Amino acid sequence: MTVLFQARGLRKAFGNGEHRRYAVDGVDITVAEGEALALAGESGSGKSTIGLIMARLLDHDEGEILFDGQEIGKCSARRAAQQPWRAQIQMVFQDAGGAFDPRLSISDSVALPLRRLSHSRGNALTHAVEDALDRAGLAGHLFRRKPHELSGGQLARAGIARAIALRPRLLILDEPTAALDVSVQAGILHLLNELRRDLNMAMVFVSHDLNVLRVLCSRVMVMEHGNIVEEGPVGRVFASPAHPFTTRLLAALPKWPRSEGLPHQLPGSALIIHSQ
Protein backbone atom coordinates (compact mmCIF):
# COMPACT_ATOMS: atom_id res chain seq x y z
CA MET A 1 0.00 0.00 0.00
CA THR A 2 1.40 3.35 -1.06
CA VAL A 3 0.25 6.33 0.94
CA LEU A 4 -1.11 9.06 -1.33
CA PHE A 5 -2.56 11.54 1.12
CA GLN A 6 -1.92 12.04 4.75
CA ALA A 7 -3.27 14.57 7.23
CA ARG A 8 -2.22 14.75 10.85
CA GLY A 9 -3.79 16.65 13.73
CA LEU A 10 -6.23 18.61 11.58
CA ARG A 11 -8.22 21.24 13.43
CA LYS A 12 -10.60 23.83 12.13
CA ALA A 13 -12.79 26.23 14.12
CA PHE A 14 -15.62 28.46 13.01
CA GLY A 15 -17.08 31.49 14.75
CA ASN A 16 -15.63 34.07 17.08
CA GLY A 17 -15.35 34.58 20.80
CA GLU A 18 -17.60 32.40 22.85
CA HIS A 19 -19.25 31.04 19.69
CA ARG A 20 -15.95 29.65 18.47
CA ARG A 21 -16.35 25.94 17.96
CA TYR A 22 -14.12 23.29 16.46
CA ALA A 23 -15.85 21.65 13.48
CA VAL A 24 -12.81 19.46 13.03
CA ASP A 25 -10.99 18.70 16.23
CA GLY A 26 -7.79 16.76 15.81
CA VAL A 27 -8.29 14.38 12.91
CA ASP A 28 -5.73 12.08 11.26
CA ILE A 29 -6.49 10.71 7.81
CA THR A 30 -4.47 8.49 5.55
CA VAL A 31 -5.60 7.65 2.04
CA ALA A 32 -3.81 4.97 0.04
CA GLU A 33 -3.30 5.08 -3.70
CA GLY A 34 -6.49 3.95 -5.50
CA GLU A 35 -8.40 3.40 -2.26
CA ALA A 36 -12.12 4.04 -1.66
CA LEU A 37 -12.45 5.64 1.75
CA ALA A 38 -15.77 6.49 3.40
CA LEU A 39 -16.20 9.48 5.69
CA ALA A 40 -19.49 8.89 7.49
CA GLY A 41 -21.31 11.11 9.93
CA GLU A 42 -24.39 13.15 10.60
CA SER A 43 -24.95 16.78 9.77
CA GLY A 44 -22.64 19.01 11.75
CA SER A 45 -20.14 16.21 12.39
CA GLY A 46 -17.48 18.08 10.42
CA LYS A 47 -17.25 15.59 7.57
CA SER A 48 -17.94 18.15 4.83
CA THR A 49 -15.44 20.54 6.36
CA ILE A 50 -12.80 17.83 6.19
CA GLY A 51 -13.72 17.23 2.55
CA LEU A 52 -13.14 20.90 1.73
CA ILE A 53 -9.86 20.98 3.65
CA MET A 54 -8.65 17.84 1.86
CA ALA A 55 -9.52 19.42 -1.49
CA ARG A 56 -7.62 22.53 -0.34
CA LEU A 57 -10.65 24.76 -0.83
CA LEU A 58 -10.72 25.69 2.83
CA ASP A 59 -7.90 26.58 5.19
CA HIS A 60 -7.37 24.55 8.33
CA ASP A 61 -6.16 26.10 11.59
CA GLU A 62 -3.74 23.42 12.73
CA GLY A 63 -2.20 20.24 11.45
CA GLU A 64 -0.18 19.13 8.46
CA ILE A 65 -1.25 17.80 5.10
CA LEU A 66 0.99 15.67 2.91
CA PHE A 67 0.17 14.76 -0.67
CA ASP A 68 2.48 12.30 -2.34
CA GLY A 69 5.00 12.92 0.43
CA GLN A 70 4.98 16.68 -0.12
CA GLU A 71 3.69 19.19 2.43
CA ILE A 72 0.77 21.02 0.80
CA GLY A 73 -0.98 22.37 3.90
CA LYS A 74 1.31 25.39 4.31
CA CYS A 75 0.05 26.93 1.10
CA SER A 76 -3.21 28.77 1.83
CA ALA A 77 -6.38 27.69 0.05
CA ARG A 78 -6.46 31.08 -1.68
CA ARG A 79 -3.28 30.24 -3.52
CA ALA A 80 -4.07 26.57 -4.15
CA ALA A 81 -5.24 27.27 -7.71
CA GLN A 82 -1.68 27.95 -8.86
CA GLN A 83 -0.07 24.91 -7.26
CA PRO A 84 1.28 22.01 -9.32
CA TRP A 85 -0.78 19.50 -7.32
CA ARG A 86 -4.08 21.28 -8.07
CA ALA A 87 -4.81 19.02 -11.03
CA GLN A 88 -4.23 15.93 -8.91
CA ILE A 89 -6.75 16.68 -6.17
CA GLN A 90 -10.26 17.31 -7.44
CA MET A 91 -13.71 17.33 -5.93
CA VAL A 92 -17.33 16.53 -6.82
CA PHE A 93 -20.03 18.55 -5.09
CA GLN A 94 -23.41 17.50 -3.78
CA ASP A 95 -25.41 20.12 -5.66
CA ALA A 96 -24.29 19.26 -9.18
CA GLY A 97 -26.58 21.89 -10.70
CA GLY A 98 -25.15 24.71 -8.60
CA ALA A 99 -21.60 23.62 -9.40
CA PHE A 100 -21.96 24.63 -13.05
CA ASP A 101 -21.70 28.21 -14.26
CA PRO A 102 -25.25 28.79 -15.56
CA ARG A 103 -23.90 30.76 -18.53
CA LEU A 104 -21.62 28.06 -19.88
CA SER A 105 -22.40 24.90 -21.79
CA ILE A 106 -21.51 21.62 -20.09
CA SER A 107 -18.56 21.00 -22.40
CA ASP A 108 -17.21 24.52 -21.79
CA SER A 109 -17.36 23.93 -18.06
CA VAL A 110 -15.59 20.59 -18.42
CA ALA A 111 -13.00 22.25 -20.65
CA LEU A 112 -12.12 24.89 -18.05
CA PRO A 113 -9.88 22.76 -15.78
CA LEU A 114 -8.18 21.22 -18.84
CA ARG A 115 -7.49 24.63 -20.30
CA ARG A 116 -6.22 26.16 -17.08
CA LEU A 117 -4.30 23.26 -15.58
CA SER A 118 -3.15 21.04 -18.43
CA HIS A 119 -3.03 23.85 -21.00
CA SER A 120 -4.84 21.80 -23.64
CA ARG A 121 -5.98 23.67 -26.71
CA GLY A 122 -7.78 22.95 -29.99
CA ASN A 123 -8.45 19.36 -31.00
CA ALA A 124 -6.65 17.87 -28.02
CA LEU A 125 -8.92 19.85 -25.72
CA THR A 126 -12.10 18.89 -27.56
CA HIS A 127 -11.00 15.30 -27.52
CA ALA A 128 -10.22 15.32 -23.80
CA VAL A 129 -13.56 16.96 -22.95
CA GLU A 130 -15.51 14.44 -24.99
CA ASP A 131 -13.53 11.57 -23.56
CA ALA A 132 -14.31 12.67 -19.99
CA LEU A 133 -18.02 13.15 -20.73
CA ASP A 134 -18.17 9.78 -22.51
CA ARG A 135 -16.52 8.05 -19.60
CA ALA A 136 -19.05 9.61 -17.26
CA GLY A 137 -21.79 8.18 -19.47
CA LEU A 138 -23.31 11.44 -20.64
CA ALA A 139 -25.01 11.17 -24.03
CA GLY A 140 -23.31 13.15 -26.81
CA HIS A 141 -26.30 15.34 -27.66
CA LEU A 142 -26.16 16.84 -24.15
CA PHE A 143 -22.59 18.19 -24.36
CA ARG A 144 -23.58 21.61 -25.71
CA ARG A 145 -26.52 22.07 -23.34
CA LYS A 146 -26.67 24.57 -20.50
CA PRO A 147 -26.86 23.16 -16.96
CA HIS A 148 -30.54 24.04 -16.49
CA GLU A 149 -31.42 21.89 -19.50
CA LEU A 150 -30.12 18.71 -17.82
CA SER A 151 -31.75 16.39 -15.30
CA GLY A 152 -30.28 15.77 -11.85
CA GLY A 153 -28.70 12.49 -12.90
CA GLN A 154 -27.21 14.00 -16.05
CA LEU A 155 -25.75 16.87 -14.04
CA ALA A 156 -24.22 14.42 -11.57
CA ARG A 157 -22.51 12.68 -14.48
CA ALA A 158 -21.32 16.00 -15.88
CA GLY A 159 -19.90 16.98 -12.49
CA ILE A 160 -18.00 13.70 -12.32
CA ALA A 161 -16.77 14.17 -15.89
CA ARG A 162 -15.31 17.56 -15.00
CA ALA A 163 -13.60 16.18 -11.90
CA ILE A 164 -11.99 13.24 -13.72
CA ALA A 165 -11.04 15.16 -16.87
CA LEU A 166 -7.64 15.94 -15.36
CA ARG A 167 -7.15 12.34 -14.20
CA PRO A 168 -6.65 13.37 -10.58
CA ARG A 169 -5.08 10.89 -8.19
CA LEU A 170 -7.38 11.90 -5.35
CA LEU A 171 -11.06 12.62 -5.79
CA ILE A 172 -13.17 13.96 -2.91
CA LEU A 173 -16.91 13.40 -3.29
CA ASP A 174 -19.27 15.26 -0.98
CA GLU A 175 -22.65 13.48 -0.93
CA PRO A 176 -22.42 12.86 -4.68
CA THR A 177 -25.80 11.12 -4.90
CA ALA A 178 -27.78 12.64 -2.02
CA ALA A 179 -29.99 14.68 -4.33
CA LEU A 180 -30.72 11.82 -6.73
CA ASP A 181 -33.49 9.26 -6.98
CA VAL A 182 -32.38 5.72 -6.16
CA SER A 183 -33.09 4.58 -9.72
CA VAL A 184 -30.46 7.08 -10.91
CA GLN A 185 -28.16 6.76 -7.92
CA ALA A 186 -27.37 3.10 -8.62
CA GLY A 187 -25.98 4.03 -12.04
CA ILE A 188 -23.77 6.75 -10.57
CA LEU A 189 -22.41 4.38 -7.94
CA HIS A 190 -21.43 1.88 -10.62
CA LEU A 191 -19.83 4.66 -12.64
CA LEU A 192 -17.74 5.86 -9.72
CA ASN A 193 -16.56 2.37 -8.94
CA GLU A 194 -15.54 1.74 -12.55
CA LEU A 195 -13.72 5.06 -12.79
CA ARG A 196 -11.80 4.36 -9.63
CA ARG A 197 -10.73 0.97 -10.92
CA ASP A 198 -9.92 2.06 -14.49
CA LEU A 199 -8.12 5.28 -13.64
CA ASN A 200 -6.63 4.09 -10.34
CA MET A 201 -7.98 7.12 -8.49
CA ALA A 202 -8.24 7.25 -4.74
CA MET A 203 -11.74 8.36 -3.76
CA VAL A 204 -12.97 9.80 -0.49
CA PHE A 205 -16.75 9.59 -0.15
CA VAL A 206 -18.26 12.01 2.32
CA SER A 207 -21.80 10.92 3.11
CA HIS A 208 -24.41 10.35 5.77
CA ASP A 209 -25.85 7.42 3.82
CA LEU A 210 -24.27 4.30 5.30
CA ASN A 211 -25.92 2.02 2.76
CA VAL A 212 -24.29 3.90 -0.10
CA LEU A 213 -20.90 3.92 1.63
CA ARG A 214 -21.24 0.21 2.34
CA VAL A 215 -21.42 -0.78 -1.33
CA LEU A 216 -18.78 1.64 -2.54
CA CYS A 217 -15.97 1.73 -0.02
CA SER A 218 -13.50 -0.65 1.52
CA ARG A 219 -12.63 1.44 4.58
CA VAL A 220 -14.74 3.76 6.69
CA MET A 221 -14.09 6.54 9.17
CA VAL A 222 -17.04 7.49 11.36
CA MET A 223 -17.17 11.10 12.56
CA GLU A 224 -18.94 12.66 15.49
CA HIS A 225 -18.54 16.25 16.72
CA GLY A 226 -15.37 16.84 14.75
CA ASN A 227 -13.67 13.62 15.83
CA ILE A 228 -13.11 10.27 14.20
CA VAL A 229 -14.72 7.85 16.61
CA GLU A 230 -14.20 4.64 14.70
CA GLU A 231 -12.19 3.52 11.75
CA GLY A 232 -11.74 0.23 9.95
CA PRO A 233 -12.76 -2.03 7.07
CA VAL A 234 -16.37 -1.34 6.04
CA GLY A 235 -17.46 -4.95 6.50
CA ARG A 236 -16.11 -5.20 10.02
CA VAL A 237 -17.23 -1.79 11.26
CA PHE A 238 -20.76 -2.24 9.91
CA ALA A 239 -21.09 -5.82 11.13
CA SER A 240 -19.71 -5.28 14.62
CA PRO A 241 -19.32 -1.62 15.49
CA ALA A 242 -17.13 -0.93 18.49
CA HIS A 243 -18.06 2.68 19.28
CA PRO A 244 -21.52 3.42 20.75
CA PHE A 245 -22.10 6.21 18.22
CA THR A 246 -21.52 3.88 15.29
CA THR A 247 -23.85 1.38 16.90
CA ARG A 248 -26.50 4.06 17.26
CA LEU A 249 -26.06 5.19 13.66
CA LEU A 250 -26.44 1.67 12.32
CA ALA A 251 -29.39 0.92 14.57
CA ALA A 252 -31.21 3.98 13.25
CA LEU A 253 -31.09 2.74 9.66
CA PRO A 254 -34.43 1.40 8.48
CA LYS A 255 -34.39 -2.39 8.57
CA TRP A 256 -34.64 -4.27 5.33
CA PRO A 257 -36.49 -7.56 5.74
CA ARG A 258 -34.48 -10.59 4.72
CA SER A 259 -35.83 -12.37 1.68
CA GLU A 260 -36.41 -15.58 3.63
CA GLY A 261 -39.50 -15.36 5.82
CA LEU A 262 -41.93 -12.48 5.96
CA PRO A 263 -41.67 -10.90 9.41
CA HIS A 264 -44.75 -8.70 9.23
CA GLN A 265 -46.92 -11.00 7.18
CA LEU A 266 -50.63 -10.49 7.72
CA PRO A 267 -52.69 -13.56 8.47
CA GLY A 268 -54.45 -15.04 5.48
CA SER A 269 -52.67 -13.13 2.81
CA ALA A 270 -51.35 -16.08 0.85
CA LEU A 271 -50.93 -15.01 -2.71
CA ILE A 272 -53.36 -16.44 -5.20
CA ILE A 273 -53.55 -14.74 -8.50
CA HIS A 274 -56.79 -14.04 -10.20
CA SER A 275 -56.54 -14.37 -13.91
CA GLN A 276 -59.22 -11.99 -14.97
Partner 1 sequence: MPVLAPLLTVRRLSLAFALPQGGRASVLDGLSLDIAPQEALALVGESGSGKSVFALALLRLLDRHAEITDGEIRIEGEDLLHASDKRMQDLRGKTLAIIFQNPASSLNPIRRIGRQIADVLLAHGERSADAARRRAVQMLARVGIQDAARRANAYPFELSGGMKQRVMIALALAASPRLLIADEATTGLDVTTQAMVMDLIHEQARANNMATLLITHDLALAAERCDRIAVIHAGQLVESAPAARLLTAARHPYTRALLTATPHAGSTLANLRAIPGQAPDTAAADLPACRYYARCDRRTELCKSLPPMQTASSNGAHVVACHHPL
Partner 2 sequence: MKYGSSALLLALFLALAIAGPAVAPYNPLAYALADRLQPPSLHHWFGTDALGRDVFSRTLAAARTDLPAAAAAVILSSLIGVSVGAACGYLGGAIDRWVGRVVDVMMAFPLFVVAVALVAALGNSLTNVVLATAVINLPFYIRLVRAEIAARRQLGYVMAARLAGCGHGYIIGRVLIPNIAPIIAVQISLNLGWAVLNTSGLSFIGLGVRPPTPEWGALVSDGAQYLLTGQWWVALGPSLVLVLAVFAFTLIGDTAHDLFSPRSAR
| Identity of the residue, 155 or 216, whose beta carbon is nearer to partner 1 in the bound complex | 216
Interacting residues of 272 by C-beta distance below 8 A, sequence separation 6+ = none
Least distance between partner 2 and beta carbon 248 (Å): 32
Answer whether 132's CB lies under 8 Å from 142's CB. Answer: no
Least distance between partner 1 and beta carbon 19 (Å): 15
Q: Give the one entry of partner 2, partner 1, none that residue 212 binds, where binding means its C-beta sits below a cut-off of 5 to 8 angstroms depending on kind.
A: partner 1
Answer whether 152's CB lies under 8 Å from 176's CB. Answer: no
Q: Give the one entry of partner 2, partner 1, none that residue 103 binds, where binding means its C-beta sits below a cut-off of 5 to 8 angstroms depending on kind.
A: partner 2
| Identity of the residue, 61 or 101, whose beta carbon is nearer to partner 2 in the bound complex | 101
Chain residues in the site for partner 2 (CB under 8 A): 55, 57, 78, 80-82, 86-87, 90-91, 93, 95-96, 98-103, 109, 112-113, 116-117, 162-163
Give CA–CA dist 2/254, Å, rounded.
37
Answer whether 117's CB lies under 8 Å from 86's CB. Answer: yes
User: Binding mask 194-223 vs partner 1 (x if CB under 8 A, - otherwise)?
Assistant: --------------xxxxx-xxx-------
User: Binding mask 128-157 vs partner 1 (x if CB under 8 A, - otherwise)?
Assistant: -----------------------xxx----
Is 53 exposed, middle or buried (CB count within 10 Å of its CB: 0-12, 13-18, 19+)? buried
Least distance between partner 2 and beta carbon 57 (Å): 6
Least distance between partner 1 and beta carbon 184 (Å): 6
H or E element: which one contains 233?
strand 227-233
Give CA–CA dist 251/245, Å, rounded.
10
Answer whether 158's CB lies under 8 Å from 183's CB. Answer: no
Answer whether 173's CB lies under 8 Å from 92's CB. Answer: yes
The residues binding partner 1 (CB under 8 A) are 42-43, 151-153, 181-190, 193, 208-212, 214-216, 238, 248-249, 251-259, 262-276
